[in-house]
Structure 1
Amino acid sequence: MNVSRASNGASPKLRHAGSRQAIIEAAGRLFLERGFGSVSMDELAAAAGVARRTLYNQFATKEEIFREMLRGVSRQLEAALPTGLEPHRDVEDVLRVVAHAILELHRHPEYCGFLRMLVADSRHFPWIAEEFAAVMEPQTERLVHYLTHLTTAGILDCHNPSLAAHQFMGMLNELSLWPWMIGRESLPFAADEVVDETIRMFLQRYRRLQSRGVGTVDAG
């Protein structure tokens, strides 16, 4: 089969999807390399290998392209983090799953590069930080709701579940994410050790005394 003829004969829907994805991928590369503000629409069209008219047929502005990238980050987060924090499972097991998912996410260069770009560009484009926060908050809220549920059930004692959730994630970020963000390698600790010690510290503070060693909620 002639490849070029097959390509030319592709349906408009497939060509549309291919062009759109090529633009998003090119934007990801250029935005991460140079920052959102330093990339023009013409440069995006050239990097994506599409005509300028095709680019504007797909996206009217760079902001639209960035928001499409954010939706990709949101899907990545949803895929990385557990879909459900099961209240009937042992709390240590659930926190271990969450912690390993967070550390695994930090290993994706695209995700960390996106965060670095966000920090650099949000000063000049505050809406970028606001929209990224809107993507992150639902993921954090899943952990907040879980901690709230365990507090109500008497397993944990989190007076402020939102603060507790950020503390838990912050301990992991300090060891895995932030060194990379400032141009250093992650600290030389094994992932299992980081996770175990983070959970131990967290539960030392938040597990109710009478429930220590229990850690499960009656599913009924």
Structure 2
Amino acid sequence: MARSTEKKQAILNAAISEFKNNGFANTSMDQIAMAAAVSKRTVYNHFASKDILFEAILNQMLTLFSAAVCVKYQQGTPIVEQLTQIAEQEVVLLSDPAFVDLARVIMAEMMHTPERINSAMKQVESRDGDLISWLNAAVCDGVLNISDTSFAATQFYSLIKAFCFWPQVVQGQAFPDKKQQSMIIDSAVTMFIGAYKV
């Protein structure tokens, strides 16, 4: 990694930490520079303003989202196996400490100035489209019986996030261990299949 790229990432990491601890409004570029162990000038060379820096954090979260889950329906592969793989990929994303920190920063800012992140949140929500497409394919294949695939996609992810996202982001709980993850995934898949399998 080039030195400039390393500094840029250090600034992003420092900003995430400072925003998480102090909030966006109460964090200065001086604080971020100090936390990143770089000069204030270096911070401004990479990010012309605090707003631009926050946008870069949003983009980093979107990048994690887009790289995390690849959902493509596979005709002939057991539906339980496919759903389990989808859930496992989701848990990997949600268990990433960097993702949790990003989520905390963005959620805090969403409560104070929702207009700042509305467009980014729409992009985050659009990732459900992959699962919706997968569900539509499963319905067309006659494997699942779902009238509202958008609702079902949110429902499926919510079964996982109830244990592997909200307790960590809101209450600071430890992430479930491997045995607990397996139980959460199995129960989510079983409940979902029980509700929608033909």
Q: Return the TM-score normalized by structure 1.
A: 0.78
Larger Rg: 1
What is the aligned partner in structure 1 of residue 107 from structure 2? 119
Equivalences for 1:52-201 in 2 at 5 Å? 52-81=40-69, 83-88=70-75, 89-180=77-168, 181-185=170-174, 190-201=180-191
> How far off is 1:50 after superposition?
2.6
Q: 1:59 to 1:187 in 2, by over 3 A?
A: closer
Partner AA of 1:103 in structure 2: V
The two structures, once aligned, show a CA RMSD in angstroms of 2.3
Q: Please state how far the C-alpha of 1:29 moved relative to its aligned partner.
A: 1.7
Bigger mean CA deviation after superposition, 150-159 or 186-195:
186-195
Secondary structure, aligned partner of 1:123: helix
Gaps of 5+ in 1: 1-12, 209-220
Q: Give the Cα–Cα distance (whole angstroms) in 1 for the partners of residues 184 and 6 of structure 2.
A: 41
Q: Which amino acid aligns with 2:182?
A: D
Q: CA contact under 8 A between 2:87 and 2:160: conserved in structure 1?
A: yes
Q: Distance in 1 between matches of 2:92 and 2:134?
A: 21
Offset of 1:205 from its aligned partner?
1.2
CA contact (8 A) 1:106 1:112 kept: yes
Unaligned runs of 5+ in 2: none
Structure 1 stretches of 4+ with a deviation exceeding 6 A read none
Matches of 1:202 and 1:166, distance apart in 2: 11
Do the aligned partners of residues 126 and 69 (structure 1) sit closer, same or farther apart at CA in structure 2, a change above 3 Å counting?
Answer: same
Percent identity over the alignment? 27
* Partner Cα separation in structure 2 for residue 16 and residue 113 of structure 1: 23
Q: Any idea what SS the aligned residue of 1:154 has? A: coil
Q: Tell me, in whole angstroms, the C-alpha distance in 1 between the residues paired with 2:103 and 2:138.
A: 31
- Give the alignment's TM-score, normalised by structure 2: 0.86
C-alpha separation in 1, matches of 2:166 and 2:90: 13
